[in-house]
Amino acid sequence: MRRREFMTMLVGAAGTAWPVIGLAQQQPKLSTIGFLGPTAPAPGWVAAVLGRLRELGWTQGGNLSIEYRWAEGRPERIPEFAAEFVRLKVDVIVTAGTPVVLAVRRATTAIPIVFSSAGDPVGTGLVASLAHPGGNVTGLSFMTAEVAGKRIELLREVVPNLRRLAVIVNAGFPDAMLEMGEVKAVTKTLGLEVSSHEVRRPDDIPTAIETMKNQADALYVCGDPLMVGNRVRLNALALAARLPTVHSIREAIEIGGLIYYGPDFPSLFRRGADIVDKVLRGAKPADIPVEQPIKFDLVINLTTAKALGLQIPESFLLRADEVIE
């Protein structure tokens, strides 16, 4: 073949191939997030994470795909969903709550796991340390146990002559049990009587509250998916028993709880998206420190206070981030 003919063929072939190469370069790499929630779909959590990811350059349907799985309060479904994410080969699993993270980690030690919230990730064995998590897990701690003392102090401000404190806790939730331990330690230093009431399923809640009726001046509710899923019923029963409540879950205050003090969860979830972004860009969870809250909210429900006949001090209301009326 003469040189001129060879060059003509080469140029023609290249002209045909270049558009294909150019088209391939225009297609962004699609990363997949597996969202696994322990309870019902949580629009606020998802919106906060996706909103921040958009700001960081991730667009659903563009360079990002998301698989959602919600356990609807049925913990036995968690291992099933975790195994499904492993089969789908998602790039990162985003979840919340210590038992869920532990179940997912049993399914995979290779896929990165980012928890948007967990009470005590070191104490419950999720990570080796906050600064150096190790393994394939990292995320954000919401310091449930550490702020238990502050919640009791706030409760004492609005419940005159508080002497007897009841605590309701899901015995099957590690974070909640650690929180209860902290509550007991704090009440001991304050000279308060404390009685703990352990539950494991929704039907245990009415019995527990009936037991503490007329035997406690207020109720501390340790947060976990069981309490979140039954917050309407729990608050109604507590109100009927004339028990002011303090919660570690924000959602409980909008439907009858008295006081919430804890992290600003939307900002926590947005920071969780920052960690997801790092993982999707190649960082290893073992090298990403577990973060802690930097902003805490105080919320009080005045309607509940009035129903209980409580007079909330003006100084308390001025410090509140939100007053529900």
Task: List beta partners, residue 95.
Answer: 36, 115
pLDDT > 90 in the chain, percent: 69
pLDDT digits (tens, 9 = 90+) for 51-100: 999 999 999 989 999 999 999 878 899 999 999 999 999 999 999 888 89
Instruction: Indicate the helix (H) or strand (E) that contains 9.
Output: helix 3-26
SS3 label, residue 70 = strand
Query: Quick one: pLDDT at residue 74?
Result: 84
pLDDT digits (tens, 9 = 90+) for 212-249: 998 999 999 998 888 988 999 999 999 999 999 999 88
State how far the alpha carbon of 132 is from the alpha carbons of 35, 117, 211, in Å.
Answer: 24, 17, 44
Query: Quick one: pLDDT at residue 99?
Result: 87
Sequence ranges of the domains in the chain = 31-142+264-294, 148-263+297-324
Rounded distance between C-alpha atoms, residue 244 and residue 238, angstroms: 7
Query: Quick one: pLDDT at residue 174?
Result: 84
Within this chain, domains 31-142+264-294 and 148-263+297-324 share the same CATH topology? yes
The whole-chain average pLDDT of the chain stands at 89
Confidence class for position 258, pLDDT limits 50, 70, 90: very high
Residue in the structure block whose two tokens are 């019923």: 233
What integer is the mean pLDDT of 294-303?
94
pLDDT digits (tens, 9 = 90+) for 153-193: 999 999 988 999 999 999 988 888 989 999 999 999 999 99
Q: Are 281 and 57 in contact (CB under 8 A)?
A: no
Which CATH fold would you assign to the domain 31-142+264-294?
Rossmann fold (3.40.50)
Rounded distance between C-alpha atoms, residue 194 and residue 196, angstroms: 7
pLDDT at 15 over 50: no
pLDDT at 319 over 80: yes
pLDDT at 17 over 70: no
Which one, of 97, 91, 88, 89, lies nearest residue 36 by Cα? Answer: 97
What sign does the CA torsion over 52, 55, 59, 65 have? negative
Q: Are 262 and 250 in contact (CB under 8 A)?
A: yes
Backbone angles phi, psi at 70, to 5 degrees: -125, 125
Rounded distance between C-alpha atoms, residue 246 and residue 259, angstroms: 5
Question: Residue type for 317, please?
Answer: L
With 0-12 / 13-18 / 19 or more C-beta atoms within 10 angstroms meaning exposed / middle / buried, residue 67 is middle
Backbone angles phi, psi at 211, to 5 degrees: -65, -40
pLDDT digits (tens, 9 = 90+) for 121-135: 998 899 999 999 999
pLDDT at 118 over 90: no
pLDDT at 22 over 80: no
With 0-12 / 13-18 / 19 or more C-beta atoms within 10 angstroms meaning exposed / middle / buried, residue 293 is buried
Q: Are 269 and 45 in contact (CB under 8 A)?
A: yes
- b/e sequence 163-183, b meaning 16+ C-beta within 10 Å: eebbbbbbeebbbbbbbbbbb
**Angle of the 265-280 helix axis to the 43-55 helix axis, nearest 10:** 50
Query: Quick one: pLDDT at residue 26?
Result: 53
pTM: 0.80
pLDDT at 297 over 80: yes
SS3 label, residue 164 = strand
Architecture field, domain 148-263+297-324 = 3-Layer(aba) Sandwich (3.40)
**Cα 299 from chain centroid (whole Å):** 18
DSSP 16: H
